[in-house]
Amino acid sequence: MKTDKFLSFRPVLLGAFALALGSTHAADRIVSCGGTITEIVFALGAGDRVVAVDSSSVYPEDATKLPQVGYVRQLSTEGILSVKPDLFLVNEDGGPPETLTQVEQLGVKTLKIDTEHTPEAAAQRIVAVGEALGIKESAQTLADQLTADIKEVQQAVAAMPAKPKVLFLYARGGGIMNVAGTNTSADSIIELAGGTNAVTGYEGYKPLTAEAAVAAAPDFILVTTRGLESSGGVEGVLKQPGLAMTPAGQTEGRIISMDDLLLLGFGPRLGQAAQELSKKLHPTVAQKGF
């Protein structure tokens, strides 16, 4: 599979979507909150209709130049209303809840989009956003391409001889590191890429401890690009509790970093993310061609 096959753009409640949309009038002034949602809107060629975003909307670059209305879980009613939107797209876990309720009650068509981290949900999200924008056909084409890309990755992964253990670390700042367990986007992308999560004893995230890191014995340590930078690079990561004593910490080149939204967003570039991570987890296989 060639990387240039993937779109350069960088996780369903379809029944509820249909009810929320009401008329089929295409929105001209969109507030998009949630990095994946914004990425989808731009990937569908509707970026020129977006009048504001939230701070997690970091891709594509054009989105970062738009006015911001806060972080997706700490949105401002006044900020959203100030740009006079006719459509408000937001993650279903966005908030605070009273802001979402107020915006909707004040007459702004509001669409809450789920964040499930599966390939199927990623494709459905694209279609749902496309329906909201009045460009369902283009959205279906994009969703179909994503599904085909993922299928190709899955076929390649199925032929790989082993699944290395991967420990995903999320840096929260201030030296705090959390470890991804099951039912997380990190867990899902690791599996898609042909790895296995080194931590399966709990769901969600828990703080890193030396004992847990050593017991997990990961072959690779995976972090986001921003997480790596905030931790002081590879050396900074290895100073975290127990990591230097793991197989990954004792082997050069076993700390992997990838762009945050690409890796965890489960958006239009999910196939690209799975392919790139797979190549890093299986360098010998990658050398022979993916």
CATH of the domain at 7: 3.40.50.1980
Q: Look at 19-23, 103-107, 139-143, 192-196 and tell me which has the smallest mean pLDDT.
A: 19-23
pLDDT at 264: 97
What's the predicted TM-score (pTM) here?
Answer: 0.88
22 has pLDDT over 50: no
Co-location of 143 and 180 in the same domain: no
- Residue 265 clears pLDDT 50, i.e. is over it: yes
Give exposure, 194-233, as e/b (b: 16+ Cβ within 10 Å).
Answer: bbbbbbeeeeebeebeeebbbebebbbbbbbeebbebbee
25, 116: one domain: yes
Q: Give yes or no for residue 3 having a pLDDT over 50.
A: no
Q: What is the pLDDT of residue 6?
A: 36
Query: Would the pLDDT of 181 be above 70?
Result: yes
What is the structure's pLDDT at 283? 83
Rounded to an integer, the average pLDDT of 26-36 is 94
**Structural domain count of the chain:** 2
Residue 14 lies in a domain: yes
Domain match, 115 and 232 both: no
Give the chain's mean pLDDT.
89
Domain edge (last residue) among 153, 184, 218 = 153
> 68 and 96 share a domain?
yes
pLDDT at 16 over 50: no
Q: Say if residue 148 is in the same domain as residue 170.
A: no
Q: Which domain holds residue 172?
A: 165-287
The answer to whether residues 99 and 172 belong to one domain is no
Helices within the chain (DSSP H only): 14-21, 35-43, 61-64, 77-82, 97-105, 119-133, 136-158, 185-192, 210-216, 225-230, 233-238, 260-264, 270-281, 283-287
Please compute the mean of the pLDDT values over residues 58-73 and round it to a whole number. 96
Please tell me the predicted confidence (pLDDT) of residue 11: 31
Residue 160 inside a domain? The answer is no
CB atoms within 10 A of CB 285: 18
Q: Specify whether 137 is located in the same domain as 51.
A: yes
